[in-house]
Amino acid sequence: MRATGEDVTWVLVDGENIDATLGTSIIGRRPQPEERPRWDRLVSFATREWGRRAQGVFFINASSVIPQSFVQALKAMDYEVVLLAGAPDEKVVDIAIQRTLQALAGRDDDVMLVSHDGDFLDDVAALIDDERRVGVVAFTEFRNAGYNAVAGLQKFDLEYDAAVFDAQLPRLRVIPIDEFDPISFLGA
């Protein structure tokens, strides 16, 4: 991670987790280009939401192949790209994110984790204090339920709050009654 000399919001992206959930659980196939997240919007969302500069860090398992064009696109969006390799039985992305969360415990920076994975619960909970903001960004219905019990954790939906998609995804959503608008399914 870059040393910034200023407080920053670190946006830690578990891309494999988001991609797998999107393709397998939501769309049921390989996403079309307009159904893929616009990762630059995620960093912009973090900046707007918490009013401080955000730095995206995208973790990629490069044990078998390096997705060069995707890496270049992320770098053009000013993401820190972390290419990882390990044994076939190692969850290298999870290990790296856990180590990063643990390293951030000694800093004052805010943290937004972009993942559904419950493997990060303890490390995320350890970051919460009276001064630092900590959030998890995911598809709400697929986010590990353990995050709901973490006091002080802010929760954001990747599609509805962060607005990183060009097309509306085919999701079923529990709608708070205050937000219910029958016109949305009755048509104009």
The pLDDT tens digits for 68-122 are 999 999 999 999 999 999 999 999 999 999 999 999 999 999 999 999 999 999 9
The pLDDT confidence band at residue 182, using thresholds 50, 70 and 90, is: confident
Q: Place 1 in a pLDDT band, splitting at 50, 70 and 90.
A: very low
Q: Tell me if 39 sits within 8 A of 182, measured CB to CB.
A: no
Q: Say which residue the tokens 């998890």 belong to.
A: 136
Tell me what the mean pLDDT of segment 147-170 comes to.
Answer: 93
CATH fold of the domain at 9-186: Rossmann fold (3.40.50)
Q: Is 142 exposed, middle or buried (0-12, 13-18, 19+ CB in 10 A)?
A: middle
Q: Say if residues 70 and 80 touch (Cβ distance below 8 Å).
A: no
pLDDT at 2: 43
Mean pLDDT, the chain, whole residue set: 91
